[in-house]
Amino acid sequence: MLRLLAALAVALCALATAPAAQTRVETHSPLGVKVSVPRRYAPMPVSAHETHVRLRWLGEENRAGLRPDLYLIELELAPDPEPLPEPPPVNSLERLLARRFGPWAVAETRELASVDGWSLREHRLERRLAGPDLVRAGLETNFPWAAVALERRRGDKAWVVLGLCDSEDLEQELKGWRTLLTKLALFEPTAAAEEKKWARYYQFHPEFKNGELRTRLRARLLDGWKWEDTPNFVYLMSSDKAALMRDVQKKLEGIRRHFLELFAPVAEIGAVSTVRVCKDQAEYLEYGGPARSAGYWNPLAKELVFFENGKADTRIVLYHEAFHQYVYYAVGEVNPHPWFNEGYGDYFSGAEFNTHGDVLRIRPNPWRVEAARHFLGEAPPWKELIRMDQAEFMARAEVHYPIAWSIVFFLEESKAVAAEPSWAKILPTYYSTLKQAFTRRREGLAAEGRAEDAAALRQASAEAREEAVAAAFEGVSLEELEAAWRPFVAALELPR
């Protein structure tokens, strides 16, 4: 008996001192995957428009302020079609890196022990600089990141675990990444069955635009996120505040109707606008929200992302970002100059609605009135601000945002502007010229077979913006305009 008690005591002691599990298991039925993820990694929602990245996580911040970034990627390894299209299909790790994770490239590959008939490879990646967009002063000598791609391949299918972290932490983080790859369990995904169900649903609900896209996105909705439809929007929500969401949906449709009246699109907008509502600031930041922001429009993911930050603040952010989302498509998938884009975003943040969700009037943005008056003496001359690119604009965002808002508010609301035709035409001329100029250039690129040439499209965007701002301010004395604007801003008051 004593021997049994002693053995039991030893066992209990061993249980008490055993280390906690270093991974947690996540099951994602739409994808048909079960993964063992390092416990220190938080899930980060993946854009509904992603074509290869299936899951993503961020690790804890290290002492240098860097967070490991981890992706689970699915690849189809089909051979290239003939003739090879441009851009070519993403059917290899090398193509994926070039398209989605440049400037990383495979530097060294070694074979690992196979698992359940899957061959495993570990690819050490290196950072390769190419092109003016990637070369910045000091970047080559001050780049602490390291990256590894772990590939699991069988037949024409590959799963890739791609991890990035501080180079000093690589060997430690790599242990968890290898565990994720080797313990990856696959089963029949539910997405295909869900697609059939939602395809039937949207077939009988034509009021929801682009049912094909909604079907694909909804079938892949991951655990923890809810879905809501309105005619022009898709809502992915982890917020459970139903009353807030009903109000948001009604007013977003209302303000979109207002945008259509003021900014006719270059063509009918067939895209469905995706709105992701995070449950709190922590989830918003994990999803990629910029620090000290409450919402943002991501044109690459084609999502408006925000979190519920108190009723008034949520609305201000939402209407601002909704304008970015709308104008991006209305002009033909190009962003206007930031003074116009951010200024109008803040302008519409002052929207007031009736009970049906229609815009009644635009009031001064309560976030910008005091700041605009405060920074009036520090404002750059209009001739500089109206040609700033995004980087220049954001370099002094605390000044440029309220000043840009005050410029748009002045041009929209000032009686002095309404009485002077050359001033009153500035905003509508800028918008109409930008549409026409970019459409003309894009059609020219298509005729040359360069419709998907990213560098050529960036150049076309820049040229169209310059043409728009030149046309908008042609024949206008900026000195006289600024002389009328300054007292207008100084006299602004907070809305009551």
Q: What is the pLDDT of residues 95-128, one digit of tens each?
A: 999 988 877 999 999 999 999 999 999 999 998 7
Among 160-164, 268-272, 297-301, 410-414, which stretch is predicted with the lowest mean pLDDT?
A: 297-301
Give the confidence band of 280 by pLDDT, cuts at 50, 70, 90. confident
CA separation (Å) from 386 to 294, 299, 305? Answer: 25, 22, 27
For residue 404, pLDDT over 90 is answered with yes
User: What are residue 147's phi and psi, to 5 degrees?
Assistant: -145, 145
Looking at per-residue pLDDT, the higher value among 283 and 446 belongs to 446
CA dihedral 393, 395, 400, 401 (to 10 degrees): 90
Two tokens at 147?
């990256």
Give the confidence band of 169 by pLDDT, cuts at 50, 70, 90. very high
What is the per-residue pLDDT for 160?
97
Spell out the SS3 assignment of the chain.
CHHHHHHHHHHHHHHHHCCCCCEEEEEECCCCEEEEEECCCEECCCCCCCCCEEEEEECCCCCCCCCCEEEEEEEECCCCCCCCCCCCCCCCHHHHHHHHCCCEEEEEEEEEEEECCEEEEEEEEEECCCCCCCCCCCCCCCCCEEEEEEEEEECCEEEEEEEEEEHHHHHHHHHHHHHHHHCCEECCCCHHHHHHHHHHHHHCCCCCCCHHHHHHHHHCCCCCCEEEEECCEEEEECCCCHHHHHHHHHHHHHHHHHHHHHCCCCCCCCCCEEEEEECCHHHHHHCCCCCCCCEEEECCCCEEEEECCCHHHHHHHHHHHHHHHHHHHHCCCCCCCHHHHHHHHHHHCCEEECCCCCEEEECCCCCCHHHHHHCHHHCCCHHHHCCCCHHHHHHCHHHHHHHHHHHHHHHHHCHHHHCCHHHHCHHHHHHHHHHHHHHHHHHHHHHCCCCCCHHHHHHHHHHHHHHHHHHHCCCCCHHHHHHHHHHHHHCCCCCC
Mean pLDDT of 208-236: 86
CATH class (in words) of the domain with range 225-330: alpha beta
What is the per-residue pLDDT for 347?
95
Q: pLDDT tens digits, residue range 302-347?
A: 778 888 766 566 677 788 888 988 998 899 888 999 999 999 999 9
What is the per-residue pLDDT for 7?
40
Bridge partner list, 157:
76, 154
Give the confidence band of 13 by pLDDT, cuts at 50, 70, 90. very low
What is the per-residue pLDDT for 240?
72
Among 267-271, 349-353, 380-384, 486-490, which stretch is predicted with the lowest mean pLDDT?
A: 267-271
| Conformation bin of residue 224: beta by default, left when phi > 0, alpha when psi is -120 to 50 | left
Question: What are the residue ranges spanned by the domains of the chain?
Answer: 20-186, 190-220, 225-330, 332-496
| Alpha carbon distance 236, 273 (integer Å) | 11
What is the per-residue pLDDT for 307?
83
% the chain with pLDDT above 90:
59
CA separation (Å) from 333 to 310, 366, 434, 489? Answer: 31, 30, 11, 32
Q: pLDDT tens digits, residue range 47-98?
A: 767 889 999 998 998 998 899 999 999 999 999 999 988 888 999 999 999 9
For residue 141, pLDDT over 70 is answered with no
For residue 469, pLDDT over 60 is answered with yes
| Alpha carbon distance 31, 295 (integer Å) | 28
Residues with Cβ within 8 Å of 240's Cβ and at least 6 positions away in sequence, in order, are: 279
Q: Please classify residue 17 by burial: count the beta carbons closer than 10 Å to its beta carbon, then call 0-12 exposed, 13-18 middle and 19+ buried.
A: exposed
For residue 433, pLDDT over 70 is answered with yes
Contact 148, 68 (CB under 8 A): no
For residue 250, pLDDT over 60 is answered with yes
What is the per-residue pLDDT for 276?
85
Among 236-245, 272-281, 452-461, which stretch is predicted with the lowest mean pLDDT?
A: 236-245
For residue 490, pLDDT over 70 is answered with yes
**Sheet containing strand 295-298, strands side by side:** 226-230, 233-237, 273-278, 303-307, 295-298
Mean pLDDT of 119-141: 66
The CATH H-level superfamily of 20-186 is Mog1/PsbP, alpha/beta/alpha sandwich (3.40.1000.10)
What is the overall mean pLDDT for the chain?
87
What is the per-residue pLDDT for 111?
95
Give the confidence band of 137 by pLDDT, cuts at 50, 70, 90. very low
